[in-house]
Structure 1
Amino acid sequence: MTTTRQPGTPATTRRRMSARVVWAVLAGAAAELAGVGLTASAAWLITTAAQQPPLAALSVAIVAVRAFATSKGVFRYAERLTGHDVALRAQAATRERLYESLIPPKQPRHGGADLLSRMVDDTDAVQDLLVRCLLPATAALITGVTAVVVAFAVHPGTAPVLLAGLVVAGVLLPAGTAAAARRWSARIAPARAALAERVADLVHGSADLAAYGAGGRALTDALDADAALSSLERRQARVHAAALAIGVLVQGLTVVAIVWLAQSTGAGSVATAVLALTALVSFEPVLPLAAAGERYAGIAAALRRLKEIGSVPPAVTEPAAPAALPDGPLTVEIDDLVVRHARPAAPNPASAEGQGTDARGTPAAAVDGVSLTLTPGKRVALVGPSGAGKSTLLAALMRLVEPESGAIRVNGVDIADLDSDDVRTLMTGLTQDPYIFQTTLRDNLRLAGPASTPDEREQAVRRARLDRWVARTGWDAELGEDGRTVSGGQLQRLALARALLYDPPVLLLDEPAEALDEATADELMTDLLDVTHGRTTLLVTHRLKGLEHVDEIVVLEQGRVVQRGHHDDLVSEPGYYRDLWQSEALVSG
């Protein structure tokens, strides 16, 4: 179901975020200024008290020290609370946009481990940009300007010296670290993603690697990736340490120069102490800017990587003003549909269903002029060899791919005029490569029916022939990542149970009996055909047993309809269907 957004909500959210950023900046600057005021007033108080003046002459300074000490803690707490709140909200919004940019699926250009690295590590850059760069830089600027003004008021000659030291430590040094880090920071994120991919191969493919004797080579590749990443990170750490040392050196030289200048020009001990300690503390918010400049180079690289994903064109075009969902029993009309996949990045004429190319290198049509009508309650089976375009047709019905020509209409409304999420509430079900989440069996089922009752979930697993396995493992059995702790047949039946529990108006089933043994597959198909009686269903299958009960069988070859009709008619006609029927009968006999 789609989420209805209230008008003006994004603008209101932006205004609130901007207000929080301003408050965090002001609170951070106030905390740093309170620190400068605390040091300056404390220096004046100590040096003046040494001259033993009347207590009344020190009362204002005493109050000032207490006020600055208290306010520094209060403002620092407010800055950290507000700043991290804004940063975490911005990070969450970035991850949400990243998820949305991947749904509906785009052209796959990144592996799963690389996407995970971008989702976790690169989105942290949004948080760091605010917390480690923007807020410290603003606070350092305000504090530095204030410190220079104080120095000018106490002893005008020391102000240029303090200004020069702050510019070196707060501008030149961060610029230098950013330039140095930029040379390899863009390589750290890909290196981290490469290591994640190697580790994922070792963890998830350990059984296959062991079976083929490739575990040693995979481990060596992972160690090499780890060594490459460690080398880059060590170089980055050396730059960080050098920048910190140079910053502390500049701070010390500046303070020494100010003290020497103040004493050589006859400034009093009170003024000298105030100038020295004010200069010393003014560097406190400036010194971290060297690390911020270094971090900014990595942040810029991470943001570019996130932008790469957002720049990938979507698989389908969303309408500017989506039409309303049609009501009542649905009639789906597929009219002369042509779907042609995008040109592959590298020549690979048969890497996936329908993604071959012709003699001129143009991608061949995965679905080529298919017309089909699904009236309410009608059951249609799609049959054909691998690569015939069956799964692509289902993807087009769910608005996961964009047709080149033709149309798909639901009660006369073109699905291209509907929101893609709304289309998938009307037509969905069991697709290829269903995803199982790393949680309990019950929670995986509740994803399809959050409001479902225990009886409804039990009925769904029973219809999917999963009830005996559930009885052994229990509803709270933890399923591994991507269903790796269950067999292929169990995963397929669990995905089928979710599809039956979701109960869409038009049920799409892509190879529901795949990865099952012959007996279980036959039982499942029998139950499935019984369950779908009277409901609109489009079934993709390589198994012909039980198809005599469907209303129509459509045979696809190379994206085109080559045969259609009832089972009894097709077994008597020469062609793919009769050949497959005879081969199945021979095997079963």
Structure 2
Amino acid sequence: MRALLPYLTLYKRHKWMLTLGIALAILTLLASIGLLTLSGWFLSASAIAGFAGIYSLNYMLPAAGVRGAAITRTAGRYFERLVSHDATFRVLQHLRIYTFSKLLPLSPAGLARYQQGELLNRIVADVDTLDHLYLRVISPLVGAFVVIMIVTLGLSVLDVTLAITQGGIMLLTLFIMPPVFYRAGKNTGQNLTHLRGQYRQQLTSWLQGQAELTIFGASKRYRAQMEATELQWHEAQRRQSELTALSQALMLLIGALAVMLMLWMASGGVGGNTQPGALIALFVFCALAAFEALAPVTGAFQHLGQVIASALRITELTEQKPEVTFPQAETPAPEKVTLTLRDVSFRYPDQPINALNALSLQANPGEHVAILGRTGCGKSTLLQLLTRAWAPQQGKILLNDLPLSSLSESALRRTISVVPQRVHLFSATLRDNLLLAAPNASDEALSDMLRRVGLENLLEDSGLNSWLGEGGRLLSGGELRRLAIARALLHDAPLMLLDEPTEGLDATTESEMLELLADVMREKTILMVTHRLRGLARFDQIIVMDDGRIIERGTHAELLAGQGRYYQFKQRL
């Protein structure tokens, strides 16, 4: 239960709306009980009066009460649902924002251990499950308790013994049944949450890997695993449905026994009146209707295990400590950059060896540096340290002789432009995909940059309003690369980090992109990670890496003259 405490604080923002929802629920329950109780008494009293030949019965007031209770129940139910669901959706909105705000500082280090489907399930499905906390637990429980007190107090005006008996039965049911069915349904609820996440994760992987699964003939095997998980999920749902049916049956049984007890006790007299007449029907129908207030409670606590499991899964995400933290105070972004690394070493979590070992380098303003090496030698890791996706365990990274960690996050983002190895295309317009790098850029500037990177063909149909990504135009690998270069150039930062920027480009386009970068960034610092040798002669410094270490550095001519690793790479071409 402690797992729910952090999320209960979110309800404080909407405490008045939530309280109003509970008040309307109580009013609706009282109107429902009053409707059946008054109707039963009125019909019984009318029958007795007619049978006895009594003509002085005032039927106008009870009839008005019945109509008033019916209208109140209908209107109360409508407004209770309106207010409660509106408040719940607002709480879920803040919960999603809260969860996402906690996830942002964790990316990518804290999220690397989770698969995409698992993260999506926790952010969406598990957050949605928490709406049960108010709608199915808090509101029914508080409403039932208050209604029991009011009904007991109201009946005590007629007969204290009967009122206490009925109230006692209802209170015992309220305090015993929910914990029993919570324990009975706890494991089932946890299994449901786990199996739902597992199934959605498998489904996401199956959809994303459809091409590879089909090519290698593994689609049937993977689908069989999904079907096995789905069967387990359905079995857990069946067990939960059985518990729901059992709780409802027990509630009906207890209600029926309470009605019989009230009938037996009231038949002996009500409030000292040995001939209670229609008052017997009043107590019987009140007992019958009052158990409506308890009906949702057992089912609510049965689902509480699922709610707690979802809360624990969200808490597991949000309570992680970020691998990298930024200063809270805002710092200015430099206009020119001297980048210095001194004996930087880094190891990924749970890995036996370092990705970088005592690495040192310096890039001055306007200097263009190419970092060359085989796959897995630490090139991309170096760029991730510079963007502060990770923090080195040893050594220093300096920007203009100041620690990189002293820059605020916004200042760092203004200082660095990045062309990542994996370019993400947002499902949005072409304009939106470019404006994320330069929010204030004009349409003319965006169109001009697209032409400079050779993507003028994207402007042919709807111009900058062309829809890209899902439901729109998909880009090839080469087009994605050039779009990323356009974003980086529009960002116009003094330091540009390029991770395989010409991958997937033909020789002519590659040369054009390198010339464009050299021209636009001639007064700015560039670090380009690559394993391609074309165009490296124009770089001021070439660094060759292997096993996380720098094994060679120098200009193109110097490295060729040294006949080392760079020379060997050139000879293989």
Kindly provide the amino acid, as one letter, of the partner of residue 525 in structure 1: L
Residue 3 (structure 1) aligns with: none
Kindly provide the amino acid, as one letter, of the partner of residue 317 in structure 1: T
Taking a change above 3 Å as real, the CA distance of residues 333 and 523 of structure 1, as seen in their structure-2 partners, is: closer
Residue 22 (structure 2) aligns with: 25
Q: For 1:375-413, what per-residue CA distance to the aligned partner results, in whole angstroms no more than 9, with x for missing partners?
A: 2x3332222222232222211221210122333344454
TM-score by length of 1: 0.85
Runs of 5+ unmatched residues, structure 2: 1-8
Residue 366 (structure 1) aligns with: 356
Residue range with higher mean Cα deviation, 202-211 or 424-433: 424-433
Kindly provide the amino acid, as one letter, of the partner of residue 347 in structure 2: H
Match among 503, 507, 526 for residue 496 of structure 2: 507
How much has 1:480 moved relative to structure 2?
4.2
Match among 309, 316, 321 for residue 313 of structure 1: 321
Q: How does 1:406-421 map to 2 (within 5 A)?
A: 406-421=395-410
Taking a change above 3 Å as real, the CA distance of residues 258 and 506 of structure 1, as seen in their structure-2 partners, is: same
Taking a change above 3 Å as real, the CA distance of residues 126 and 413 of structure 1, as seen in their structure-2 partners, is: farther
How much has 1:446 moved relative to structure 2?
3.4
Q: Percent identity?
A: 29
Contact 1:370 1:559 (8 Å CA) reproduced: no
Match among 291, 297, 300 for residue 289 of structure 1: 297
How many angstroms apart in 1 are the aligned matches of 2:100 and 2:289?
44
> Does residue 564 of the first structure (1) align with residue 553 of the second (2)?
yes
Match among 484, 491, 507 for residue 495 of structure 1: 484
Match among 460, 476, 486 for residue 449 of structure 2: 460
TM-score by length of 2: 0.87
Contact 1:463 1:531 (8 Å CA) reproduced: no
Q: For 1:476-502, what per-residue CA distance to the aligned partner results, in whole angstroms no more than 9, with x for missing partners?
A: 555445999443333333333333333
Q: How does 1:409-558 map to 2 (within 5 A)?
A: 409-468=398-457, 471=460, 478-480=467-469, 485-558=474-547
How much has 1:61 moved relative to structure 2?
4.6
How much has 1:40 moved relative to structure 2?
3.8
Kindly provide the amino acid, as one letter, of the partner of residue 259 in structure 2: V
Residue 6 (structure 1) aligns with: none
Kindly provide the amino acid, as one letter, of the partner of residue 531 in structure 1: V
Q: How does 1:110-509 map to 2 (within 5 A)?
A: 110-167=114-171, 169-265=173-269, 266=274, 268-319=276-327, 322-344=328-350, 357=352, 363-366=353-356, 368-375=358-365, 377-468=366-457, 471=460, 478-480=467-469, 485-509=474-498
How many angstroms apart in 2 are the aligned matches of 1:82 and 1:289?
20
How much has 1:252 moved relative to structure 2?
2.0
How much has 1:59 moved relative to structure 2?
5.9
Contact 1:169 1:287 (8 Å CA) reproduced: no
Q: How many residues align?
A: 553
How much has 1:227 moved relative to structure 2?
1.5
Contact 2:346 2:394 (8 Å CA) reproduced: no
Residue 4 (structure 2) aligns with: none
How many angstroms apart in 1 are the aligned matches of 2:375 and 2:396?
24
Residue 576 (structure 1) aligns with: 565
Taking a change above 3 Å as real, the CA distance of residues 342 and 536 of structure 1, as seen in their structure-2 partners, is: closer
Q: For 1:342-370, what per-residue CA distance to the aligned partner results, in whole angstroms no more than 9, with x for missing partners?
A: 432xxxxxxxxxx5x2xxxxx42525332
Kindly provide the amino acid, as one letter, of the partner of residue 489 in structure 1: G
Residue range with higher mean Cα deviation, 223-232 or 101-110: 101-110
* Corresponding residue SS for 2:87: helix
How many angstroms apart in 2 are the aligned matches of 1:412 and 1:62?
87
How much has 1:302 moved relative to structure 2?
0.9
How many angstroms apart in 1 are the aligned matches of 2:32 and 2:411?
56
Contact 2:363 2:525 (8 Å CA) reproduced: no
How many angstroms apart in 2 are the aligned matches of 1:332 and 1:130?
55
Contact 1:435 1:482 (8 Å CA) reproduced: no
Q: How does 1:59-98 map to 2 (within 5 A)?
A: 61=62, 64-98=65-99
Residue 105 (structure 1) aligns with: 108
How much has 1:41 moved relative to structure 2?
4.1
Residue range with higher mean Cα deviation, 498-507 or 297-306: 498-507
* Corresponding residue SS for 1:468: helix
How many angstroms apart in 2 are the aligned matches of 1:122 and 1:169?
30
* Corresponding residue SS for 1:105: coil
How much has 1:297 moved relative to structure 2?
1.0
Residue 7 (structure 1) aligns with: none
Q: For 1:300-359, what per-residue CA distance to the aligned partner results, in whole angstroms no more than 9, with x for missing partners?
A: 11111111212333221344xx23322551324334152423432xxxxxxxxxx5x2xx
Contact 2:10 2:95 (8 Å CA) reproduced: no
Contact 1:147 1:279 (8 Å CA) reproduced: no
Residue range with higher mean Cα deviation, 518-527 or 66-75: 66-75
Q: For 1:73-108, what per-residue CA distance to the aligned partner results, in whole angstroms no more than 9, with x for missing partners?
A: 444444323322332222222222332333232332
How much has 1:287 moved relative to structure 2?
0.4
Residue 3 (structure 2) aligns with: none
Kindly provide the amino acid, as one letter, of the partner of residue 359 in structure 2: G
How much has 1:187 moved relative to structure 2?
1.8
How much has 1:251 moved relative to structure 2?
1.6
How much has 1:13 moved relative to structure 2?
8.3
How many angstroms apart in 2 are the aligned matches of 1:473 and 1:576?
49
Kindly provide the amino acid, as one letter, of the partner of residue 329 in structure 1: E
Kindly provide the amino acid, as one letter, of the partner of residue 117 in structure 2: A
Residue 16 (structure 1) aligns with: 13
Kindly provide the amino acid, as one letter, of the partner of residue 19 in structure 1: W
Q: For 1:150-187, what per-residue CA distance to the aligned partner results, in whole angstroms no more than 9, with x for missing partners?
A: 23332223234423442454333322222122122222
* Corresponding residue SS for 1:146: helix
* Corresponding residue SS for 1:507: strand
Residue range with higher mean Cα deviation, 70-79 or 86-95: 70-79
Residue range with higher mean Cα deviation, 550-559 or 471-480: 471-480
Kindly provide the amino acid, as one letter, of the partner of residue 86 in structure 2: D
Residue 32 (structure 2) aligns with: 35
Taking a change above 3 Å as real, the CA distance of residues 385 and 271 of structure 1, as seen in their structure-2 partners, is: same
Taking a change above 3 Å as real, the CA distance of residues 331 and 281 of structure 1, as seen in their structure-2 partners, is: same
Contact 1:381 1:540 (8 Å CA) reproduced: yes
Contact 2:447 2:464 (8 Å CA) reproduced: no
How much has 1:511 moved relative to structure 2?
1.0
How many angstroms apart in 1 are the aligned matches of 2:75 and 2:415?
55
Taking a change above 3 Å as real, the CA distance of residues 172 and 332 of structure 1, as seen in their structure-2 partners, is: farther
